[in-house]
Amino acid sequence: MRVQIIGGSGTGKSTLGKYFGKQENIKWIDTDSYLWKDNSFLENNPIEKRIEMYEKDIISNTSYVVSGSIFSWLPEGFSNRDLLVFLTLDEEERMERVRKREVLRKSLKESWLDEHGDFTNEFIEWCKTYLTESDKSQGGTFVAQSYEMELSESPILRLDSSKSVEELYNEIKQYLVKTHLI
């Protein structure tokens, strides 16, 4: 079983991926570990290092669940998946999740107040462009993910991530069984 979960920042990709991996006893791959050098989320790995990490995961695991995408720097990555899951969430709720996560990460050191009086930083400001960005080469945006789905050879399951992680997991499992993917 090979499942990839994509969606905007704050939709719960990592939470669902980690839960899914644990329930199925399969490898959970968080694509943030390819992108970032460490948990400070300040410095990116070079693309060569990301590809090396990706190839190691693909060679060593026949079953996995992936949270996130590598499409912007390796379009053919995870193309052997059985299912692509696209998480959606009300934009206000998504941004609230992002802000809370930034506070937990203590990433608001370099912050300021936005036009609504909410704390923000460069990452939060980038997250605000998820729906409005029009360049499909800009990874992590709706337009880029829509393009990735357009080119996908695997089935796509769209889920509302306002549901609990258990409900989302069960919907994915039911879909995989119903469509004979497992």
Residue 111 phi/psi, 5-degree rounding, is -120, 170
106, with CB counted inside 10 A (0-12, 13-18, 19+), is exposed
- Average pLDDT score over residue span 15-22: 98
Per-residue DSSP letter, 44: B
- Tokens 């609230």 correspond to what residue? 96
For the stretch 144-176, pLDDT in tens is: 999 999 999 999 999 999 999 999 999 999 999
Question: 45 by DSSP, 3-state: which?
Answer: coil
Query: Is pTM beyond 0.85 here?
Result: yes
